[in-house]
Structure 1
């Protein structure tokens, strides 16, 4: 199962518009980080390694909205840090929804119950709760006991209040195929989340723990076994089918590093949020001053083990649209 139909329509219309306009590089989704501060210290994330002065900063609502408008992406992921530590994050969400953007707010969910009343259910808004394993594994990943139970309770509260709730689960080299199955079965069948996103752990440069990340061969073996026996079809996964094929080694793509750009307090990150090659002040500067052809597996050693959603889901989406175009052309030819 891929994206909801209204998002498929939104994304399809946007892609057609870019094609008609002749735009070569455009964002499918933009990630906005309105702060770097977080209430947890996860071993696989390095956001809180930033200087103390930067961790105290909060992006103004107008600046966050302007960045989204500047790049024109139809979908927005508000990340961090922990976005719910931003006192005006609900205003950012409301302003983007008012502009007909689809918004996901990424959170560890610890603060969700306290702030849930500030948000309103909307078809163009979803919570994205990070669940990196079942109870013991998740609590170890976030370096704090009890967070898994808090997150699951927050999900249930949000669902009861009428919100869409997605989850994002990152899997590392200590995870087995059965671990993946257990997590997705639990979230899909018992918790009843609306959509699930999965990510192979990639060696984010600032992460304190550099020994947990997956290589390409490990990633393919992990997901090929986890997706077996028809399980992939029953899970409500928030991915295109071709990206899932890519994860298990049935397809291969080149990275599309410009497909999901990242904007933070430091500017537009070059070339993507996993690599830190400097920042551009404007989106156009990001496009014009980044040597895009130099990134991806086989081009930059830092990219060799990356199969991350931010680079390869856009590639899969482009391939999907290309397949649809060929199918329609074939149907017209036989009519």
Structure 2
């Protein structure tokens, strides 16, 4: 009963999110926030973690959440690093929900146990995503189905929030068919499933080899509930072809780093680089109309999906930012390093 009630509440708020997004363009639809850059794993493809950062103080996280609410944001996804390492994560989630916003969480799943899942239920979490990279752990990633399957069973038994399992394919993945095994297990447990394509260190596309193409097509058949099915951008990515679309990063989608700066996305940090505390609706309107040079070959799923509701309007005519490969001095951003695309921001 609790699960059904939580699902009904989430779906109603998702409907309001879409209705608000269609009727107004001067507010963010989705924001990703980083309360903890440190991670308990060190996957070789990832450029979104370190091993030393302290958690962002919870009062500072409250200020950022309150600011996003004042800007009209309807969905906040908590990412990292590994956000479950933050000692007051439940309070961060509860703060998001206190504003009526949808609360999502991206985690590697290692710290999930039944008691922790129950705490996430009580905090009001709406969405959780785990990305599983392989069936057996290897020297690229320990996020394997072998290690995490028990965590998935605990989620199926205890979670009243929506769970999505993201699998990955592409360059750097040793066994492409693992993604299909992971997706089938997700569906078997009643979760939604998405598939992501490995991109380079600037979020740009890397076309799939023939075997990965076959896995991609089979896995997508299992993902009928995925928001990514509303557009075909991944099909072009899989073929190594550019997409013609209007990226609304900096406007409809905001990435807020642990230092409280607004960036286009996790892979284009440094633009616009304005403190969230100083971000205004004028900034949102400017970025809504600003063309991004990285857009044609972009693979960042959450930005594509968030921008999709505005594909039909407001042609971008501002000066194009040359942001491919950009990074701010706060980060170590190695060109050519493999990083993962996920369905993190998908509203299922």
TM-score (norm 1): 0.72
Give the number of aligned pairs. Answer: 290
Structure 2 counterpart SS, 1:117: helix
Structure 2 counterpart SS, 1:79: strand
The alpha carbon displacement at 1:127 in A equals 1.9
Structure 2 counterpart SS, 1:158: helix
Question: 2:167, 2:283 → 1: CA distance?
Answer: 29
Structure 1 counterpart SS, 2:290: helix
Structure 2 counterpart SS, 1:186: helix
Relative distance call for 1:82 and 1:312 in structure 2 (3 A) is: same
Partner of 1:16: 22
Relative distance call for 1:318 and 1:198 in structure 2 (3 A) is: farther
Partner of 2:119: 118
On the 8 A contact 1:262/1:269 being kept in 2, the answer is yes
Question: 1:124, 1:17 → 2: CA distance?
Answer: 26
Question: 2:208, 2:165 → 1: CA distance?
Answer: 23
Structure 2 counterpart SS, 1:110: coil
Question: 2:171, 2:284 → 1: CA distance?
Answer: 34
1:277 aligns with 2:276: no
Relative distance call for 1:108 and 1:62 in structure 2 (3 A) is: same
Choose the corresponding residue for 2:150, options 150, 153, 164: 153
The alpha carbon displacement at 1:108 in A equals 0.7
The alpha carbon displacement at 1:153 in A equals 1.3
Question: 2:304, 2:287 → 1: CA distance?
Answer: 18
**Which stretches in structure 1 are left out of the alignment for 5+ residues?**
206-212, 323-335
Partner of 2:81: 81
Which has the larger displacement, 78-87 or 311-320? 311-320
**Which stretches in structure 2 are left out of the alignment for 5+ residues?**
1-9, 238-242, 315-348
Question: 1:222, 1:26 → 2: CA distance?
Answer: 41
Relative distance call for 1:169 and 1:225 in structure 2 (3 A) is: same
Q: Which has the higher helix share?
A: 1
The alpha carbon displacement at 1:277 in A equals 1.8
Partner of 2:208: 218
The alpha carbon displacement at 1:265 in A equals 2.0
The alpha carbon displacement at 1:107 in A equals 0.7
1:308 aligns with 2:314: no
Partner of 2:171: 173
Partner of 1:58: 56
Deviations 1:224-265 (A, max 9, x none): 644547x6344344324233x221139742433233211122
Partner of 2:259: 266
Partner of 1:91: 91
Partner of 1:238: 226
Choose the corresponding residue for 1:248, options 218, 235, 247: 235
TM-score (norm 2): 0.70
On the 8 A contact 1:30/1:77 being kept in 2, the answer is yes
On the 8 A contact 1:223/1:248 being kept in 2, the answer is no
1:68 aligns with 2:68: yes
Question: 2:41, 2:312 → 1: CA distance?
Answer: 37
Give RMSD over aligned pairs.
Answer: 3.5
Relative distance call for 1:223 and 1:171 in structure 2 (3 A) is: closer
Partner of 1:196: 193
Question: 1:130, 1:94 → 2: CA distance?
Answer: 24
Structure 1 counterpart SS, 2:165: strand
On the 8 A contact 1:199/1:308 being kept in 2, the answer is no
On the 8 A contact 1:29/1:261 being kept in 2, the answer is yes
Structure 2 counterpart SS, 1:103: strand
The alpha carbon displacement at 1:289 in A equals 7.8
Structure 2 counterpart SS, 1:34: strand
The alpha carbon displacement at 1:135 in A equals 2.5
Question: 1:256, 1:31 → 2: CA distance?
Answer: 14
Relative distance call for 1:254 and 1:16 in structure 2 (3 A) is: closer
Question: 1:17, 1:305 → 2: CA distance?
Answer: 29
On the 8 A contact 1:240/1:316 being kept in 2, the answer is no
The alpha carbon displacement at 1:149 in A equals 3.3
Structure 1 counterpart SS, 2:152: helix
On the 8 A contact 1:79/1:107 being kept in 2, the answer is yes
